[in-house]
Amino acid sequence: MAMPGCFLVLMTLLTGCAGGLPPVAHSGVEETVQNEDSFLLTQSQQRLAGNDGQSGFYMLDSGQEAFLSRAALIAAAEHSIDAQYYIWSNDPSGRYLAGRMLLAADRGVRVRLLLDDFNAGGIGELLAALDTHPGIQVRIFNPARSRGGWGRWVSFLMDFDRINRRMHNKTFVVDGAAGIVGGRNIGDEYFGFAADRYFRDRDVLALGPVVDGMTDNFHVYWNNRWAYPVSALYPDVPAEGNVAATLDGLRRQARTQAGLPVPAPADTAQGRAELTGLLDQLTVAPGELVFDSPFETMEEPAETPKRSAKALQQLAQSATREILIESAYLILTGEQLTLLDVGDRQGLQVAALTNSLATNDLVTNHAGYARWRPYMLGQGIEIYELKPDAQACQQWLNTDGFCSTGQVSLHSKSVVFDRSALVVGSFNVNLRSIYLNGETVLIIHSAELAKEVAEDIRSVMHPRNSWEVSLDDSGDLQWRSGEASYTSEPTVGWWRRAKSRFLSWLPVEKYL
């Protein structure tokens, strides 16, 4: 997710000013203590015994399964839960998972929740209430001074450079032994529970050494001087009785599963049973967790590709046959393509799946992509754009009628190299992820999983699901799907096209 269009355009016309919040000083560096007696650690040790430092992976392609796996991990937690997200929505799934973590804290589990501030305004007071529990700590990364209304937007404008350095990382670690990493935020639209929109995405449930990397990722941000205790941002938490009522309401919602369209694990036994079924399907392979650390100072220039981008660059430069990209937001300029050197390697096919203007939730992001789309095509990259009526929707969702009335969008961030290695994480293949955001990517060296994800990406590139975009003999864009052909962005009105075209003239793609 990114910044609203009019706001973004206005920001580009302003000069960042000094101000905003000062960094906070933490009393000490907090770490995770891994306990030897947890169910999850025992599962990890037993299932990975004799595998010489490899990890176990299970792909979470279904939104519903992604939700249930998180619910199961919370139910199975015995010692600690460390959750780090860009968005945590105040909706049925977000409140349910928060309520389950509250119940875990009631039984003695230490819960730490770290959220980026850009989308935290709508849930801030609920987070402040959770933070009053002795077993729960909540921190907000890189916050604006103002917490709501027009003052919040003014804070963003007046502190433009700092506010643009977002924590886009997404990790979820339980008992230091099992974790989930990928592209999903926490919210109904990511799990297939919303009535109007579904963000197609991909996560990975993992055991083994890569979970240590997820823990390191969490701690680097948790202990950072820009991670504010939520109590410092919301000092006027409602009176104690109101806080108690809020927490009791969360507990009640978690126990009754109010608003959930699927039954979730109700206790530890059910959580362990759910996880056992998933862990029975693990693929054991070498893996590496790569993450970007926060900027040393928020004023330093963001001109150098970050660590996650460099890791993908190395994999791309090593590929000899095929690179398959699945990215909700796609922008590669001349500088990036020169570094990747994909245009001059004989026999290398590069194909990218991304959103069309009809499926992109942000016209601004599509405009930045549209600005560079002809160039990317001219460099030999094949581009496919998701259709709003993609038949694959029927496979992604079990919800009756959604695919004929709701909006489906691509939110996944995966890359497959030579069908021997793959990357899943929070990294969009665009300039914001390369230079500005903190991102997390999981690199898995498994021909089995690489083939599985590659076939999934290729299936969505099929004409029943996507338009293939190309340049005709005159150098003009065309969209093709079977026998159907278009010469302008398909299935959208003139006003949306006009907005995208206008915004594409602005050189702001780095901030999209």
C-alpha to C-alpha distance for 478 and 487, rounded to whole angstroms:
5
Which one of the listed residues 61, 161, 175, 188 is annotated catalytic? 175
Catalytic residue among 168, 219, 366, 499: 168
Spatial CA neighbour of 101 closest among 276, 278, 253: 253
Rounded-to-integer distance, Cα 484 and Cα 467, Å: 9
Report the C-alpha gap between 356 and 338 in whole angstroms. 25
Of 79, 170, 219, 306, which residue is the catalytic one?
A: 170
Q: Is 170 designated active site?
A: yes
Residue 30 and residue 165 in contact, taking contact as beta carbons nearer than 8 Å:
no
Widest distance between CA atoms in the chain:
71
Lookup result for tokens 């969360």 = 250
Say whether 175 is catalytic.
Answer: yes
Q: How far apart are CA 64 and CA 58, in angstroms?
A: 14
Decide: residue 301, CB within 10 A, 0-12 exposed, 13-18 middle, 19+ buried. Answer: exposed
Distance CA 437, CA 163 (A): 10
- For 296, which DSSP code? S
Catalytic annotation present for 413: yes
- Identified catalytic residue from 219, 411, 499, 510: 411
Backbone angles phi, psi at 290, to 5 degrees: -115, 130
**Strand pairing category for 421-425 and 440-444:** antiparallel
Among candidate residues 244, 236, 208, the one with its CA nearest the CA of residue 49:
208
Q: Which residue of the set 79, 413, 499, 510 is catalytic?
A: 413
Please provide residue 111's backbone torsions phi and psi, each rounded to the nearest 5 degrees.
-115, 130
Residue 418 a catalytic site member: yes
- Residues with catalytic function: 168, 170, 175, 411, 413, 418
